[in-house]
Amino acid sequence: MNWFKQLFSRGRLYSDLSDEIQEHLDEKIEELVANGMSREEATHAARREFGNVTLIKEDCRETWTFTWMETLWQDLCYAARTLAKTPGFVAVVVFSLALGIGANTAVFSALNTVMLQALPYQQPENLATIWSTQKTDPGSEDLPPIAEVIDWKKTKSRFC
């Protein structure tokens, strides 16, 4: 049986396991009855000898390959049922996630545009920042007057 069929035929596999365990118990009971025990005593003795049937079933199920997927599916179904009972909470969670994802996307987009991508100029290494300092206020910086920028353009060949 391939894994896909095994995944979707769990109910049949569980019933086959239960039937097989019951057959083993019945065989042991019949063997003990054939040795002279009463049916009731043989049933109790067979169950004691066989052990905890539920534990044996669980051990057998754990050896099957996709128990983690079944557990995940059960957890998802439980989560969906629980969330369906509290629509207000779901709305708050969805709104919070949307707000967080939107803010994160906006910040990354701005950062990507400003810091990570190359500047959209032919020769970005030749860009310069120009500022001037006023003699009246030593700590202030301001953009230079347009006349100074024009003078700088005329003499830029000296700097490059």
Q: Provide the b/e sequence for 67-95 (b: ≥16 CB within 10 Å).
A: eeeeeeeeeeeeeeeeeeeeeeeeeeeee
Instruction: Please spell the DSSP secondary structure of 80-131, one letter per residue.
Output: HHHHHH-HHHHHHHHHHHHHHHHHHHHHHHHHIIIIISPPSSS-GGG-----
The confidence score (pLDDT) of residue 136 equals 59
Residue 99 has pLDDT above 70, yes or no: yes
State the Cα–Cα distance between residues 159 and 152, nearest whole angstrom.
Answer: 10
Percent of the chain with pLDDT over 70: 79
Say which DSSP state 36 is in: T
Residue 113 has pLDDT above 60, yes or no: yes
Q: What is the pLDDT of residues 23-41, one digit of tens each?
A: 988 998 999 899 888 889 9
- Asked if 90 and 83 count as a contact pair (C-beta separation under 8 A), the reply is yes
Least confident of 11-20, 45-54, 89-98, 130-139: 130-139
The confidence score (pLDDT) of residue 138 equals 56
- Asked if 42 and 32 count as a contact pair (C-beta separation under 8 A), the reply is yes
Angle at 18 between CA 15 and CA 19, to 5 degrees: 85
- Asked if 10 and 70 count as a contact pair (C-beta separation under 8 A), the reply is yes
Percent of the chain with pLDDT over 90: 26
Token digits of residue 33: 């009855």
Instruction: Give the sign of the dihedral formed by CA 14, CA 20, CA 57, CA 40.
Output: positive
Q: Which of 51, 29, 31, 49 is nearest to 40 (CA)?
A: 29
Q: What is the pLDDT of residues 143-152, one digit of tens each?
A: 666 777 777 7
State the Cα–Cα distance between residues 6 and 12, nearest whole angstrom.
Answer: 9
The confidence score (pLDDT) of residue 61 equals 76
